[in-house]
Amino acid sequence: MKDKHRNGRSHEASGQPRNGNGRNGHGRSPGTGNGRPGARPQGGPPQPRGKGLWLYGIHPVLAALANPRRRALRVLMTPDAEASIGARLEVLGQSNPSGLPTPEIVTRDVIDRSLPRGAVHQGVAAQVQGLDDTDIEDICRATEGLDNARVVILDQVTDPHNVGAVIRSAAAFGAAAVILPERNSPGDGGVLAKSASGALERVALVRVVNLARALQRLKQAGFWCVGLDGDAQTPINEADLSGRVALVLGAEGEGLRRLTREHCDLMVRIPINRGMDSLNVSNAAAVALYELARRA
């Protein structure tokens, strides 16, 4: 991490959160028990056993069951899904220190009644407990000594599909965490987990009360805070992005809030063809993360 200020911006610190969509620098303007898999009789809608959230889809469920930090309460599968992934679940159950619940073999409509309308579950769902909370201090400790550490900051991105897709890109390009405000951001439930396609188990999801203070703490830990904005003067491919970088994106439409923008050291844009106003926030995150990975 270089000590010099890039682009003349200072590290000094410079609301009611708004729900909306933002310019993201991607345009010109703008988710118990032990035992092997086995069949249980088909029955009515499953009843929750203790607190938990439902994840669904093959990739999110397998990733959750493979995560030793995630406790599974129930696993529901159709006969077709059991034939497809039952052997993999058996291996996971044998390797999991606390074991896995015995899968319940049910009809597709039983799973449908446990999930949001229209959920694409591919014949498998799991009721799991949430992961332990991770905070900014955890991320600072985990990335200490990593010269090219990357984290992603999302400022009021409210669509769980977008947040999940950003988490997936963060995992693909080696980012340590995705950080978002507690208010006006989606919970880590089934829609987000499905969009993340298993990456929710690999990338820390950090929720903070005050995003500006979180950015300031990251700066103290040596991160360079780089915001994306379609009106920024500096194209991302021409910016100095060496060292530890916190990539900051706002929601489509509104973009970064004023206080968040003031805590960024540098604003950059993704150059796109004229005639297109912007990229989707998750697409912009993927492009920017690739550029950071290419530099590293």
Q: Which of 245, 230, 234 lies closest to 292, judged by CA? A: 245
pLDDT of residue 115: 92
With contact defined as beta carbons under 8 Å apart, do 178 and 286 qualify?
no
pLDDT of residue 52: 81
Mean pLDDT of the chain: 83
4, pLDDT greater than 90:
no
The model's pLDDT over 21-59, given as tens digits with 9 standing for 90+, comes to 344 555 433 333 333 333 333 333 343 334 589 999 999
pLDDT of residue 34: 33
The model's pLDDT over 225-240, given as tens digits with 9 standing for 90+, comes to 999 998 899 999 999 8
Structure-model confidence comparison of residues 108 and 27, the more confident one: 108
Cα 184 to chain centroid, rounded: 15
pLDDT of residue 94: 83
> Which residue type sits at 145?
G
| Rounded Cα distance, 236 and 227, in Å | 10
On the 0-12 / 13-18 / 19+ scale of CB atoms within 10 A, 91 is exposed
DSSP 137-173: HHHHHHTTT-TT-EEEEEES---HHHHHHHHHHHHHT
Q: Which of 264, 198, 196 lies closest to 225, judged by CA? A: 264
Q: How confident is the model at residue 98 (pLDDT cuts 50, 70, 90)?
A: confident
For the chain, how are helix, strand and coil distributed in percent, rounded to 5? Answer: 35, 20, 50
Q: pTM score, two decimals? A: 0.79
97, pLDDT greater than 90:
no
Q: How confident is the model at residue 3 (pLDDT cuts 50, 70, 90)?
A: very low
CA dihedral (6, 10, 13, 19) positive or negative? negative
261, pLDDT greater than 80:
yes
165, pLDDT greater than 80:
yes
pLDDT of residue 6: 44
pLDDT of residue 211: 95
Mean pLDDT, residues 191-212 taken together: 94
Q: Which domains does the chain have, with CATH numbers?
A: 6-29+132-295 (3.40.1280.10), 53-128 (3.30.1330.30)
| Rounded Cα distance, 80 and 63, in Å | 19
**Residue 208 φ then ψ, to 5°:** -125, 150
Least-confidence region, from 41-45, 71-75, 92-96, 212-216: 41-45
Structure-model confidence comparison of residues 19 and 246, the more confident one: 246
pLDDT of residue 25: 57
The model's pLDDT over 121-135, given as tens digits with 9 standing for 90+, comes to 999 999 999 888 899
Task: Please give the helix or strand (H or E) that residue 3 lies within, else none.
Answer: none
Q: How confident is the model at residue 287 (pLDDT cuts 50, 70, 90)?
A: very high
Q: How confident is the model at residue 95 (pLDDT cuts 50, 70, 90)?
A: confident
